[in-house]
Chain A
Amino acid sequence: MSENFNHAQIIKDPEDNYKILGTRPVRHDGVDKVTGRAVYANDVQLQGLVEAAILRSPEAHARILSIDTSEAEAHPGVLAVTTSADFPDLGDKVANLGEGPVNLAHLAANCLAKDKVLYKGHAVAAVAAQNVHIAREALDLIKVEYEPLPVITDALEAMKDGAPLLHEGLLTNLVPGGGKAETPSNVSDHHHFKRGDTEAAFEAAHIVVEREFTTQTVHQGYIEPHAATAHWNQDGQLTVWASTQGSFSAREQTSEVLQVPISKVKVIPCEIGGGFGGKIPVYLEPVAAVLSRKCGRPVKIQMTRDGVFEGTGPTPASFMRIKLGVDETGKMTAGEAWLAYDTGAFPGGVIGPGVMCVFSCYDIEHANIDGYDVCVNKPWTKAYRAPGSTHVAYAIESVVDELAEKLEMDPIDLRLLNAAREGTKRVDGPVYPRIGLIETLEAAKNHDHYKSPLEGPNRGRGVAAGFWFNIGLKSAATAHVNADGTVTLLEGSTDIGGTRTSISMQLAETLGIAAEDINPKVADTDSVGYTDITGGSRVTFATGLAAVEVGKDIISQMKGRAAKLWECEAADVEFSDGVFSQEDNSISFKELCAKLNTTGGLITARASVDPQGFTNGFGVHICDLEVDVETGKVQILRYTALQDAGKAIHPSYVEGQMQGGSVQGIGWALNEEYLFDEKGHMLNPTMLDYRMPTALDVPMIDTVIIEVPNPSHPFGVRGVGETPIVPPPGAIANAVKNATGIRMTDLPMSPPRVHSAIMENGNGTS
């Protein structure tokens, strides 16, 4: 492409000679998406469809004394009203839902509150009516009597002795030990890892820096509100059309909350308008299902935007204390982290990965980590792109920067000296396989951006590194080989950012055919094998692996057909580059497809995979910015994201992940936060007031892809989706320091915060 698409620089693995991988075909679902024809969850139209609306709590913490729905039920046009009384009693049942154990009572009580509301916006009741306007009128007719309880929104306050308890009888899970604390508190989990002797190591250290940081609640901010449609048929079969990151997970959650057999639930995944971790839990599906059972019609619910902000799972606010010591050469010798994340209303947040990620970029001999998940009266927090990692990266990367300054060392050199590499043991235990942090840091150091001078008042440059895993989990795929030489591929991973294509390309590479000859479909839960969520940067990696296995199955079946044609043994047929051969015989994949019908019929192949172990991706970002000292506004001038991405299957979508994640991280760093009043009411539940970055707020985001292959994937694929959100707040904070001399230890670095920091510290010109 000669034109201005301006692709990333790619630092390739020298062994790489793929034909399809690394090219940039147009995505298979593209035309539907640029013509408005793609069907998202709110686009579903069905015979007899009715609409529903959700009543949300005006209190952040209260006991529900009574709910009277009689007037709402009598309102003309209303077809059904539901409350948690229509859900089965789930006791304390815990189910393993693919990504880990989930307390079903909490899951259900978050869909519709049981005897207490735990946050402002907590769903309390729902109404189905002829249209959404009538449903909303009826919500006003539902009478709920609340007994207000003390509200607590800050994790540190909630940890104090004598703090009001959200869940009486909640005993802290102790990780990794496995036990429970003895007295109830708001702390749902305490993670503790220790190695070596930190006390002695800090004592012996040349320089020690210790700082405290805070971050606020932020939302994933997907542009499509949650939406679900359910139809409970008279034969007991429940069909759900959902905007979900995992149709199988949505099916399990719905079947568990409603206690109906899983075989009775079918989830049809619609196109999904963004998720970033926020569309894994169910909120609407069980509610729509109960309403449908009650009124005998399909029921659609689309959340309002304030419902999305107040009633779904943002990612937690945090308090972090980091202490890091180095010797004279800059070698990190001791590290200590004390972290408290709020989980919101129910136990179980993202402190686990926070603890794993905090020192993940560095090799530190003596370390001590304590991390707490704490319940407060805010929405139940959920994953947001590299959940838990961005918080700690902001904190540790700020401290590393300060150490570099004190050591008078280049900040990249200091990171290179201490960088994790193959064989480094993370503080929580795992030992790294082949990783690419060193290569990524070196690429950053050699990048034109880092080498070019930055001039002008109140301008500064910052760098930061970041880490995220990619998980394996289960994926399945089925393929039908067609007589015209094309392959129809059914897979179960909902496609949020072009994964139909990145998966198809891996099958095409395996079969030696064009990406366009694969016709991928995201199938419903009745039509493809079990597949875990789209999340954890796993789809291109694990579902891609399933596609490769399907390809191998196709090849072996087709070798049998070639053997039939040539009257030889299948074992003697070779396959390479899309051609089957045996001695003087040879036939292309396409030609052989044309002969399938006469050699035993068309071919179907399938694979299920469950790759074990973990791999990792590292990112390093460089940011130049200017601070307006009059207003405190930070303008990003230049931004470069570099990442150890493994083999980039479709580089445009890898770049896209890096750019999109960077801009989400920029928003988190500079502006985004939930503002709460003392009653626990969110003050800014609109997109205007929550204020995510617009096109005008950011520059082009330059990208460099460093292809360090992942040893546990046949093509070396690593997950790339999540890492890019991790470095930006650290990189920006370090740049603000260089621009103004002020180290910002609270996110977001919004104009009022930066401005008052400047006022406190003099005029800030550097």
Chain B
Amino acid sequence: MGKKIHVSTTINGEAVEFLCEARQSFLEVLRDTLTLTGAKEGCNNGNCGACTVLMNGVPVDSCLVLAVEADGAEFETVESIATEEHLHPLQECFLEGAALQCGICTPGFLVSAKALLDNQPEPTEEEIRFELSGNLCRCTGYDKIVRAVQTASERMKEVK
């Protein structure tokens, strides 16, 4: 097993330190050690996107990131999308547009969609479908998810 490794990282704007084994994924540490259970494990091999977080601004499957690779990186997880008082427009639109049923995929979709809208505020339907194709949802058939992202994009434009 070897000795545990010390890692310093930044999660949702906060400096965080943890000890991990070399074989642990960042998802595992996030959920089990740091109790940030918003990111979900659907497959543990990069196929489903339920574990998506932003690593240095880029969406990654956190099950494929080794915990030791977190050293020096900056992460944003689903827990950081809302402010203290308000939901993010994406979260509002997912709720108003019923874009979740069981909700297990929702954290991953929200993180991927936020990365998309941060980079491309007015995506086409095709771009939304392409950018979200690494996130599987088995409940909704994607229709309401795509529409929620479209509506959030419109709302964010109005606010600006």
Contact = CB atoms under 8 A, between A and B. Distances in A.
Interface of A: 1, 3-6, 24, 26-27, 29-31, 33-40, 42-43, 45, 133-134, 220-225, 271-276, 302, 304-305, 496-498, 650, 652-653, 655-657, 659-664, 686-688, 692-696, 698, 700-701
B146 A695 contact: yes
A312 to B, nearest CB: 14
A659 B143 contact: yes
Given A36-B78, A305-B44, A686-B43, A224 B104 contact: yes
A224 B38 contact: no
The SS class assigned to the A binding surface is loop
A656 B40 contact: no
Nearest to A495: B102
Contact of B95 (A6, A27, A653): A27
Given A31-B95, A34-B87, A305-B42, A695 B132 contact: yes
In the A-B complex, list the 3 residue pairs whose CB atoms are closest, starting with the nearest: A36-B38, A273-B104, A663-B141
Given A26-B96, A223-B105, A35 B140 contact: no
Contact of A695 (B50, B102, B135): B135
Q: Which of A4, A222, A304, A659 has the most CB of B within 10 A?
A: A4
B35 A42 contact: no
B154 to A, nearest CB: 6
17 contacts: A6-B147, A31-B95, A33-B106, A223-B105, A223-B137, A273-B42, A302-B41, A304-B44, A498-B101, A653-B101, A660-B141, A661-B141, A687-B136, A688-B45, A688-B47, A695-B145, A695-B146
Given A5-B147, A35-B78, A659-B140, A695 B129 contact: yes
Q: How large is the interface on B (under 10, 10 to 19, 20 to 34, 35 or more residues)?
A: 35 or more
A4 B148 CA distance: 8
A270 B87 CA distance: 24
Contacts of A653: 98, 101
Q: Which of B105, B139, B145 has the most CB of A within 10 A?
A: B139
A663 B142 contact: yes
Interface in B1-30: 1, 21, 23-24
Contacts of A498: 98, 101
B54 interface: no
Contact of B101 (A26, A43, A133, A660): A660
A496 B47 contact: no
Contacts of B160: none
B107 interface: yes
A681 to B, nearest CB: 18
A3 B139 contact: no
A34 B110 contact: yes
Contact of A656 (B47, B101, B136): B101
A304 B47 CA distance: 13
A276 B23 contact: no
B37 A43 contact: yes
A178 B39 CA distance: 50
Contact of B41 (A37, A42, A657, A659): A42
Contacts of A663: 140-142
